Amino acid sequence: MAHASVSADHGHHDDEQHIAHVTPIKVYFAVWAALIVGTVITVAVSYVDFNVILGVPNVNLFVAMIVAITKALLVCAFFMHLKYDNKIFAVTFASAAIFLAIFFLLTFSDLMTRGQVDDKQGTFVKDHRAQQQVAPSATPQRSAH
Amino acid sequence: MSGSHHDNPYLAHHFDTPRQQLEANKLGIWLFLGQEIMFFSALFVGLMIFRSWYPQMYHTAAHELSVPQGAFNTIVLICSSLTMALAVRWAQMDVPNNNRTVFWLCLATFALAGVFLVVKYFEYSHKIHVGTLPGKFFDPSNPEFPAALKQFDNAKLFFGFYFCLTGLHGIHVLAGMGVIGWIMVRARRNEFNSKNFAAVECVGLYWHLVDLVWIFLFPLLYLVG
Amino acid sequence: MSVAATASGRVPHYLEAGKGIKSWLVTLDHKRIGVMYLWSVLGAFLLGGLAAILVRTELWSTGQTIMDANAYNRMFTLHGAAMVFLFIIPSVPAALGNILLPIMLGAKDVAFPRLNLASYYIYLVGALFALAAIAFGGVDTGWTFYTPYSTSDKVANTAVMMTFAAFVLGFSSIFTGINFIVTVHKLRAPGITWFRMPLFVWAIYSTAILQVLATPVLAITLLLFMVERTFGIGIFDATIGGDPVLFQHFFWFYSHPAVYIMILPGMGIISELTSTFSRRPIFGYTAVAFSSVALAIFSFLVWGHHMFVSGQSEYASALFSFLTFFVALPSGVKMFNWLGTMYKGSISFASPNLYAMAFMFLFSIGGLTGIFLGALSTDVHLTDSYFVVAHFHYVMMGGTIFAFFGGIHYWWPKTFGVTYNEGLAKIAVALQFIGFNITFFSQFILGTRGMPRRYFNYPPDFEELHRISTIGSYIVFAGFLLTAWYLIASLRKEKNAGDNPWHSVALEWQTSSPPPVENFVETPKIKHGPYDYDHPDAAPLVLASASSNRKAS
């Protein structure tokens, strides 16, 4: 790659004029392969009900999100060039993710804790949703389409 | 006003250097992508809230979606991201026929996006056929309505989210096809080279975001009921 | 951009750069776009103001005075929606920010001039939809469009058109925000470090972050509202398992930060005015700069304080109430530092500074009553009363609108090259300040006595206070009519304001007034900050004065 190395070690003027950072082609194919593998993993894992096996809710969700976040980071870092680019782009994108997390957390702080206080006494009462929150257990495994 | 950039036809009058212009364009598109994340956010928040409120309904309704079709579409979008990333790479290089390569890679991306929408069409028409639709179109009296769902009055909520999320994502795919088509026209005119590739890179970034949204949509809707 | 020098040897300013309506409609010059925004938002201000006067007139006496209850509901919705979406949100950033931000940074334009023009037209399209919704019968939900009432059959379908208008206007705001963030990051002239930026720029920058990250949530919320109303998908419908309060979460996730989209730019203006008219460096520059960013971030954490009586969980309410108090810290930093700037300064009582001092007085009241409302137990009693109405008018009108008009007066010579009648301006400020306090202080009292907001009728006991409030609103209105008159009259005068009538050392005054098309004849070299009145180089240096004969580039 003739221009692949044009970056920081060149003079300032050069740096301002030569702007392309060309990523080696094998990097793109390696990332693509990793994304395919990630998709296969996440589909395969979904056929195993960890919630039942481990007796803890949301394990499948957790596993799926770990895989999805890994895939997303790969896309961001290589396909979207965040690994090589000015860090301000990564900061911009990450700040959106942070405000998304705030949106999730504070909205959930309401919707998951409703109806737990006795209106008249202001005291803690039993969570009326507790029964509904049990992880799906007796439901059949996924049927093929 | 320094005259140093008058020899560069790609530099707009209010920028001083190509790097400044490129980084300004990219920061602009990254802010737009941040905006897109927040645009989708409320749908994801709502989806996860109703998932934890009604786990049984969600679980049952999610099983009505076709995992093979969803997984196939995931692969399609990942491949389209690869072709788009390669298009950006060739737009950045001053090699012979680089615009030709950009054109063909963009055409491949465009075609893959089309495949995605065709699969989506089959998914949607199946749901229209059996009546698993959002809101007032939700029809448990349909003879082919899934039996497992009949006990849940609120299953229309799940399909409301399904259609809103995939519909909004589909609109983004369509918009992406539009801007990729615009890049194809410009590549035909041999416009791209190592000094002028910002348009391809910005369209590429947008297309990768469309892929990113699907990377989260697919497991949340299809897999983790 | 090449410009020919006029016969006098003066570099032509941006108003001379093209003639005719078309030269305005297709302009890419940030100053002209800003001027178009300025007239548009002032038109929206007139519309919202007339609606306010009609609302106050209806409340002159118990029962029906000039309109029936339905017309009244539509009128206060019109007032709220026009003021919030068409006026206050675009007011300071899109009008003054567009005119000034690139000049303050020594840039030739904003980063994306075409996007800038597009966002103006998107604003116009949104405004047209809003006007159409009013013409087709109006909306009576209030500007908040709360479900389940707004999705019920009782509300006409014009609600969809009105929310679509707000949806479109949101994208205008997002694009302006993107443009400003990129401009601040990438187009600062050499020598303008982050900590040599004017505090107005810091405020606009913080605002732009909010515009980009919060406004899309409003867009998707309104989109969901439209889908809910059209297809009944049930997200906000409790009868099939949805949650109407979720709409409030989504709505306030934007609309609370939107309060800071409205007030932060105003605070930026006050920083400029206070320093210029006290002839002192701003006290605690860094603290004021970071307080803008801190307000922007905190504003995302407190939206639930709008929902204490909505059925929100008690735990969430306590959490939101606790977080709300943190907002007082950066606001307090600003107020303290403005006063610190004025302390022992050489204070001029020019009309822009009168607006700034009115701001400090009124915003203090607005801010402190906000603490009452942020406190969970007090708020339960004061929610949806006139106390809330008075509180946010003290912040939005006493704060933002007074700052906006202070800024208009301060930068009027910069923008149009003319001076207005200072005597009339002082009278107008006095009328607005006195009238404002009469209007809204009486509403604090009404609120604590139990007068609920948005009510058409009230018990006879409240009539006296309502009449005082209505009289006050007429005084305010007279004050703004006077302002409109002398500002418009000034435009017909000769452009002889001088380049720097306030003798400011800030960068935007170091080019000619009105500025040339690319703002500076040469890219300015900056050696000191915008408030360094004690810096040796700070004798107002004029880079492009009217007298010097310069070669246009």
Find the CATH number of the domain harbouring C239: 1.20.210.10
Q: A42, B60: Cβ pair inside 8 Å?
A: no
Q: C300, A102: Cβ pair inside 8 Å?
A: yes
Residues of A in contact with C314 (CB under 8 A): 113, 116-117
Q: Once rounded to an integer, what is the mean pLDDT over residues B112-131?
A: 96
The residues that bridge with B193 in the sheet, in sequence order, are B196
Give the per-residue pLDDT at C9.
58
| Interatomic CA distance for residues B169 and C461, integer angstroms | 56
Give the per-residue pLDDT at A125.
57
Cβ count near C467 (within 10 Å): 15
Q: Quick check: C553 pLDDT over 50?
A: no
Question: What proportion of chain B, given as a percentage, has pLDDT over 70?
Answer: 96
Put simply, whether B74 touches A (Cβ < 8 Å) is yes
Q: Quick check: B86 pLDDT over 50?
A: yes
Residues of A in contact with B93 (CB under 8 A): 1-3, 20, 22
Q: B45, A143: Cβ pair inside 8 Å?
A: no
Give the per-residue pLDDT at A120.
66
Nearest residue on chain B to C107, alpha-carbon basis:
B14
- Write down the domain spans for chain B: 18-223
Residues of A in contact with C305 (CB under 8 A): none
Nearest residue on chain B to C521, alpha-carbon basis:
B1
Give the per-residue pLDDT at B91.
95
Q: How many beta-carbon contacts under 8 Å exist across A and C?
A: 51
Give the per-residue pLDDT at A21.
82
| Count of structural domains within chain C | 1
Inter-residue long-range contacts of C185-188, CB under 8 Å, 24+ positions, other chains counted: C185/A88, C185/B24, C185/B27, C186/B20, C186/B23, C186/B24, C186/B27, C186/C111, C187/B14, C187/B15, C187/B20, C187/B24, C187/C102, C187/C105, C187/C107, C187/C108, C187/C110, C187/C111, C188/C105, C188/C106, C188/C107
Q: Which residue has the higher pLDDT, A58 or C215?
A: C215
Residues of C in contact with A132 (CB under 8 A): none
Q: Which of C185, C233, C518 sits opposite B134 (nearest CB)?
A: C233
Q: Quick check: C520 pLDDT over 80?
A: yes
Domain that holds residue C50: 37-538
Q: Quick check: C114 pLDDT over 50?
A: yes
Q: Once rounded to an integer, what is the mean pLDDT over residues C12-35?
A: 92
Q: Once rounded to an integer, what is the mean pLDDT over residues C172-177?
A: 97
Reference C436, options C373, C480, C497; nearest CA is C480
Q: Which residue has the higher pLDDT, B62 or C529?
A: B62
Query: How far does the CA of residue B38 sit from the closest CA of chain A (Å)?
Result: 7
Least confident of A104-108, B52-56, B78-82, C401-405: B52-56
CB A67 within 8 A of CB A38: yes
Put simply, whether A102 touches B (Cβ < 8 Å) is no
Q: How confident is the model at residue C1 (pLDDT cuts 50, 70, 90)?
A: very low
Q: B223, A43: Cβ pair inside 8 Å?
A: yes
Interface of C with A (CB under 8 A): 185, 209, 213-214, 217, 243, 245-246, 249, 253, 300-301, 303-304, 307, 311-316, 319-320
Q: Quick check: C332 pLDDT over 80?
A: yes
Q: Quick check: C135 pLDDT over 60?
A: yes
Query: How far does the CA of residue A48 sit from the closest CA of chain C (Å)?
Result: 29
CB C279 within 8 A of CB C533: yes
Contact partners of B by the rule of 3+ C-beta pairs under 8 A? A, C
Least confident of C114-123, C258-267, C444-453, C504-513: C504-513
Question: What proportion of chain C, given as a percentage, has pLDDT over 70?
Answer: 95
Q: How confident is the model at residue A134 (pLDDT cuts 50, 70, 90)?
A: very low
Give the per-residue pLDDT at C549.
37
Least confident of B5-19, B79-93, C237-251: B5-19
Nearest residue on chain A to B15, alpha-carbon basis:
A16
Residues 95-124 of A with CB under 8 A from C: 95-96, 99, 102-103, 106-107, 109-117
Q: Once rounded to an integer, what is the mean pLDDT over residues A81-99?
A: 94
| Interatomic CA distance for residues A39 and C255, integer angstroms | 38
Residues of C in contact with A106 (CB under 8 A): 301, 303-304, 316, 319-320
Give the per-residue pLDDT at C547.
37
Q: Quick check: C550 pLDDT over 50?
A: no
Mean residue pLDDT of chain A comes to 78
Nearest residue on chain C to B133, alpha-carbon basis:
C233
Q: Quick check: A33 pLDDT over 80?
A: yes
Q: Which of B3, B27, B38 sits opposite C216 (nearest CB)?
A: B38
Put simply, whether B196 touches A (Cβ < 8 Å) is no
Residues of C in contact with A95 (CB under 8 A): 209, 213
Nearest residue on chain A to C249, alpha-carbon basis:
A107
Q: Which of C187, C212, C224 sits opposite B31 (nearest CB)?
A: C212
Give the per-residue pLDDT at C403.
98
Give the per-residue pLDDT at A20.
78
* DSSP letter for each residue of C440-490: HHHHHHHHHTT-BTT-S---GGGHHHHHHHHHHHHHHHHHHHHHHHHHHHH
Residues of A in contact with B215 (CB under 8 A): 68, 71-72, 75
Q: C314, A116: Cβ pair inside 8 Å?
A: yes
Q: Once rounded to an integer, what is the mean pLDDT over residues B139-145?
A: 90
Residues 68-97 of A with CB under 8 A from B: 68, 71-72, 75-76, 78-81, 85-86, 88-89, 92-93, 95-97
Q: A111, C243: Cβ pair inside 8 Å?
A: yes
Give the distance between the most distant pair of CA atoms in chain B. 75
Nearest residue on chain C to B16, alpha-carbon basis:
C187
Q: B156, C231: Cβ pair inside 8 Å?
A: no
Give the per-residue pLDDT at C552.
37
Q: Quick check: C178 pLDDT over 70?
A: yes
Q: Quick check: A11 pLDDT over 60?
A: no
Residue from C175, C178, C180, C209 to probe the interface with B (highest B Cβ count within 10 Å) = C178
Q: Quick check: A137 pLDDT over 50?
A: no
| Interatomic CA distance for residues C63 and C147, integer angstroms | 28
Give the distance between the most distant pair of CA atoms in chain C. 75
Give the per-residue pLDDT at B205.
97
Residues of B in contact with A81 (CB under 8 A): 201
Give the per-residue pLDDT at C156.
86
Question: What proportion of chain B, given as a percentage, has pLDDT over 90?
Answer: 79
Q: Once rounded to an integer, what is the mean pLDDT over residues B42-54?
A: 94
For residue range B179-218, list pLDDT tens digits in order.
Answer: 999 999 999 999 999 999 999 999 999 999 999 999 999 9
Fold of B18-223: Four Helix Bundle (Hemerythrin (Met), subunit A) (1.20.120)
Kindly give, in sequence order, each residue whose CB lies less than 8 Å from that of residue C435, ignoring residues fewer than 6 positions away.
Answer: C472, C473, C474, C475, C476, C477, C478, C479
| Interatomic CA distance for residues C23 and C37, integer angstroms | 15
Reference B48, options B38, B58, B56; nearest CA is B58
| Interatomic CA distance for residues B94 and B103, integer angstroms | 15
Q: C181, B27: Cβ pair inside 8 Å?
A: yes
Q: How confident is the model at residue C12 (pLDDT cuts 50, 70, 90)?
A: confident
Residues of C in contact with A103 (CB under 8 A): 217, 253
| SS3 assignment for C244-271 | HHHHHHHHHHHHHHHHHHHHHHHHHHHH
For residue range C406-416, list pLDDT tens digits in order.
Answer: 999 999 999 99
| Interatomic CA distance for residues A57 and C369, integer angstroms | 45
Q: Quick check: C394 pLDDT over 80?
A: yes
| Interatomic CA distance for residues C543 and C536, integer angstroms | 17
Q: C213, A110: Cβ pair inside 8 Å?
A: no
Q: How confident is the model at residue C298 (pLDDT cuts 50, 70, 90)?
A: very high
Q: Quick check: B123 pLDDT over 60?
A: yes
Q: C109, B14: Cβ pair inside 8 Å?
A: yes
Q: Quick check: C123 pLDDT over 80?
A: yes
Residues of B in contact with A86 (CB under 8 A): 23, 26-27
Mean residue pLDDT of chain C comes to 92
Q: Which of A95, A99, A113 sits opposite C313 (nearest CB)?
A: A113
Q: Quick check: C300 pLDDT over 70?
A: yes
Query: How far does the CA of residue B222 sit from the closest CA of chain A (Å)?
Result: 9
Alpha helices in C136-243 (DSSP H): 158-186, 199-231
CB A81 within 8 A of CB A21: yes
Q: Which of B23, B81, B219 sits opposite A68 (nearest CB)?
A: B219
Reference A46, options B68, B57, B214, B225; nearest CA is B225
For residue range C226-259, list pLDDT tens digits in order.
Answer: 999 999 898 998 888 899 999 999 999 999 999 9
Give the per-residue pLDDT at A92.
94
Give the per-residue pLDDT at B45.
96
